[in-house]
A and B are shown apart, each in its own frame.
Chain A
């Protein structure tokens, strides 16, 4: 599939609804992000649209990270096949966590991580997942300001208010 080669050019329109990611990459990325911020009583990273955040920013201010994501996601699947015989998205949750932990510590199988270091890709994943989950919805993630509701921030903010009832000292 043309879009799955190492060409950095997205927006080819070839069989992917995404701007840059392939369907398979998006699926793997969603699974990765859902381990970084899993769903519990509040939605996780995939539901709030972290993949959409990442895909959009990789065609914008984060375009210098495109190759890192393409290589990193490919390396994740190579590691997954090497360790467990399946693609990352097919693994049981415990195995996904195990592989992510190896990546975080820089101990993922070296032959799968020749183009980008696993710890470096792990850092990117965590950073962008946090941005896409806790950042403003305008950037493509944090659907319906889910994380802000989770944290208990008043939203939408009420403009122009002054707290007259807070007395001095």
Chain B
């Protein structure tokens, strides 16, 4: 079924896609925003500790659905198996309007200046495709600011002496500190760290017409019941729809990007919810499906000009899949740390993002979000009993007397960590599925061990009577912080998109999401994804020479 031609199709209504749709629509372009998932509200799975974005034992609350969307996972011994979205190895983000931003913990980090030039700073890394970005922090600075003010960020990083320079302060003050913060802050200062209030995409005061956070314990992994958590679904997407120039179509699964005989993109083919195969033509196509699905779509879009998938002339599409290797420590205390005041995470340090002797990069460290009881079940010391009376006594004694300090290790990208499309397995719609394989770089656990020791020292200084560390392994990364598979670069032979997120080789195809990250920072990546989306949209709008509106 052929539809009315529009100026732009955006595939994926998440952090990147929502912003692009709104920026283009606000500039007068006609936009169709396609989302394979549904538009969930907080009332779809209220406070279900066994079915949410963090805990998927009873299913996958924010998409994609379990039955129709398999992937293939290849382990380090080369054994392959079919995985469903609720399986830990699936490498899921979310599939819904808002994408990950509907249910995330909402930490809102600007990367540091060095994060855009790791190779210049540290040199090449053996076994890694580490490179500098083709853009700098300064290129993105105004767009970080735009994201902070338009989507809405609260916090206070003025005590973070390591941060990249900002022109404008954050629009909202931080949430009042909880007990964990008040215990950890003086300990950090005594150790010579520089603790500060984590910037979060969360209203601390009424903002953008919505209420402030109600400090509940169900934040990370859940949709917010008072709509105080800011995502693309309650900011830019409604704004895009309000322009009258943007149409959102949910439960639409894009099959492939369509090209004409000259290799110019002419639109996409997708299945609507019936399912019925539709063709949406457009002057330009923006792919914002997140690192797994964006790479998959490019690889599945084969033509005479692009036999290995559009944009994949040099086998870089799907490569360098990254996420964050989480590291950290847990401390047990003989006094209460718990005050039930959410979201729980509130204090962070950037003392160990860079400049760690003999190490490349590092990562931010922060206290953890509130652990719901079932989430605390796994928080026990190595070799401690996990059943029986002793374990029950442990849970009872320490649930309110424990804290964790964790952080995302900045991973070294690995060419063999990749998303391919499986030669045999297809999803419900007959589209070849993601095939995952690879591993992290051997440096990542080394950096993780170093950061974990700092986390442990912090907890000990705060009075912990027992501590232990959790150090990452070298398994395949990605998941909710997935990035890297359509790398940004100046050289078409070692990248997929140029500095404006345009796919090399193709005039009118863009990838605007975490796939373009060369490396993923020692931080949760979403604010950087948003900044890049604003930056790339700005360029698109400024260079747009086509007509406005649907023809």
Contact = CB atoms under 8 A, between A and B. Distances in A.
B391 to A, nearest CB: 8
Given A62-B58, A153-B373, A154-B340, A136 B50 contact: yes
A151 B400 contact: yes
B399 A151 contact: yes
B386 interface: yes
Interface in A114-169: 126-127, 129-131, 134-136, 138-139, 147-148, 150-154, 157, 159-163, 166-169
Given A166-B178, A166-B341, A151 B395 contact: yes
B177 A166 contact: yes
Nearest to A60: B58
A140 to B, nearest CB: 11
A100 B388 CA distance: 10
Given A57-B58, A139-B58, A152 B400 contact: yes
Which of B217, B373, B391, B393 has the largest number of chain A CB atoms within 10 A?
Answer: B373
Contacts of A134: 373-374, 376-377, 395
A46 interface: no
B89 to A, nearest CB: 16
Interface stretch (A4-12, A30-38, A73-81): A30-38
B387 A157 contact: no
Given A135-B50, A154-B340, A61 B58 contact: yes
Which of B225, B338, B389 has the largest number of chain A CB atoms within 10 A?
Answer: B389
A131 B375 CA distance: 10
Contacts of B176: 163, 166-168
B161 interface: no
Contact of B389 (A38, A129, A152): A38
Interface stretch (B208-216, B410-418, B425-433): B208-216
Contacts of A57: 58
B396 interface: yes
Interface size grouping (class) on chain A: 35 or more
A24 interface: no
Contacts of A163: 176, 215, 341
B214 A153 contact: no
Interface string A89-129: 00000000100100010000000000000000000001101
B494 to A, nearest CB: 43
B387 A37 contact: yes
B142 interface: no
Contacts of B58: 57, 60-62, 131, 139
Secondary structure dominating the interface of B: loop
A136 B226 contact: no
B214 A162 contact: yes
A167 B215 CA distance: 14
Contact of A61 (B47, B59, B391): B59
A136 B47 contact: yes
Nearest to A154: B340
Contact of A97 (B51, B185, B388): B388
B66 to A, nearest CB: 8
Nearest to B211: A160
B189 to A, nearest CB: 12
Given A130-B374, A159-B214, A151 B50 contact: no
Contact of B387 (A35, A135, A136, A153): A35
A134 B373 CA distance: 6
A37 B176 CA distance: 37
Given A136-B49, A159-B214, 18 more contacts: A40-B392, A42-B392, A60-B58, A61-B59, A104-B387, A127-B57, A131-B374, A134-B377, A135-B50, A135-B374, A147-B373, A152-B338, A153-B373, A157-B217, A160-B226, A162-B214, A168-B173, A168-B177
25 contacts: A38-B389, A40-B393, A61-B51, A61-B57, A61-B58, A62-B58, A100-B387, A130-B374, A134-B377, A135-B50, A135-B374, A136-B49, A139-B58, A151-B373, A151-B399, A152-B338, A154-B340, A157-B217, A159-B214, A159-B216, A159-B225, A163-B176, A166-B178, A168-B173, A169-B185
Closest 3 A/B residue pairs (Cβ): A134-B373, A151-B399, A166-B176
